[in-house]
Amino acid sequence: MAVAETIRRKLETALSPERLEIVDESHLHKGHAGHRPEGETHFRVTVVATAFAGRSRLERQRLITAALREEMGNPIHALSMKALTPEEAATSGR
């Protein structure tokens, strides 16, 4: 299974997001630490979920990394995260 699909499945199961965007940015890191020729090492995710309500930015990121704990480090070398409640997403225009 592709790493992006694993990320999608695990975040959907753990957080039931209203919106989930996963972008493979591995091509931007060619020659950097953790990069593999086949890619799927560096990702950016945007997760919009009610599960983030009342939680700090750090707590939200911990929920995401906990859902992906088996993938963190290998195969995921880097993960950029944006974690918003539906209300925050609506007011930020994202």
Q: Which of 72, 4, 28, 65 is nearest to 83 (CA)?
A: 65
- Overall number of domains in the chain: 1
User: What are the pLDDT digits (tens) for 43-82?
Assistant: 999 999 999 999 999 999 999 999 999 999 899 989 999 9
pTM over 0.75: yes
Q: Which two tokens stand for residue 20?
A: 């989930």
Q: Which domain holds residue 83?
A: 3-92
CATH number of the domain encompassing residue 59:
3.30.300.90
For 31, 42, 48, 79, the CA distances from 45, given in Å and listed in that order, are 22, 10, 10, 7
Collect all residues with Cβ–Cβ distance below 8 Å to 26 and sequence separation of at least 6.
Answer: 35, 36, 39, 40, 41, 42, 43
User: What are the pLDDT digits (tens) for 18-34?
Assistant: 999 999 998 775 666 55
